[in-house]
Structure formats: structure tokens, C-alpha cells
Amino acid sequence: MSVQELLEKDTATIIDVREPFEFAEGHIEGSTNIPLNTVQNRVDDFQQMTKPLVMVCRSGGRSGMATAILKARGVEDVHNGGGWEQVNQVKTAM
């Protein structure tokens, strides 16, 4: 299933991996801020979250790294959503 389909079904947990100051400047309503530099230490938290997980950041680079880290650590059903603004546009258009 594509990220867009997950967002349209409104079943995804959205994780924003930007820094807290970036998140404070704007974010997707209902998303959770977990900065990239803490992802590796919080794998247990991610495993407990409702799936699927959609990772977002400013442009898709950090969310791609977070997705790769989590998949390598055995977290399933995690997707790189790319930039938060694009994901937000999809969500608000629903």
C-alpha cells in the first residue's frame, strides 16, 4: 500500500523526525515529534505504536534514514512519507 493510500484511509501513525524547534514552527496535526537522533534509542517505543508508521521530515532525507533504521531493527510496516508539508496537503485535502 502506498503512503498516499495509508493517509487517505487515515490509519497511519505519523512520526515527524525533525528537531523540536522545527516541529514547533509547523507540523501535521496529530503527528508525534521524535527527532532522528533519538530514533535508534526508541525502537521499543516504535514497536509498540499502532501501525502503519509514516515518517516525515522537511524534505524526506531524515525520514528516509529513520525508516531504514527502524526496518533494520525489525520494526515492520514503516514508510517514508517524505516532506511533512506534502503529507499535510494530502491529509487536509481529505
Looking up residue 35, the CATH number of its domain turns out to be 3.40.250.10
Count of domains forming the chain? 1
**Peptide linkage before 20 cis (omega within 30 of 0):** no
* pLDDT tens-place string over residues 19-64: 999 999 999 999 999 999 999 999 999 999 989 999 999 999 999 9
Residue recorded with cell 493510500:
5
Q: Is the pLDDT of residue 72 over 90?
A: yes
What range defines the domain where residue 9 resides? Answer: 3-51+58-93
Average pLDDT, the chain: 94
pTM of the model: 0.95
pLDDT digit string, tens, across residues 5-18: 888 888 899 999 99
Of 28, 53, 57, 78, which one is the catalytic site residue? Answer: 57
Query: What's the confidence (pLDDT) of residue 12?
Result: 92
- Is 57 part of the annotated catalytic residue set? yes
Between the CA atoms of 72, 44, 22 and 66, what dihedral angle is there, to the nearest 10 degrees? Answer: 0
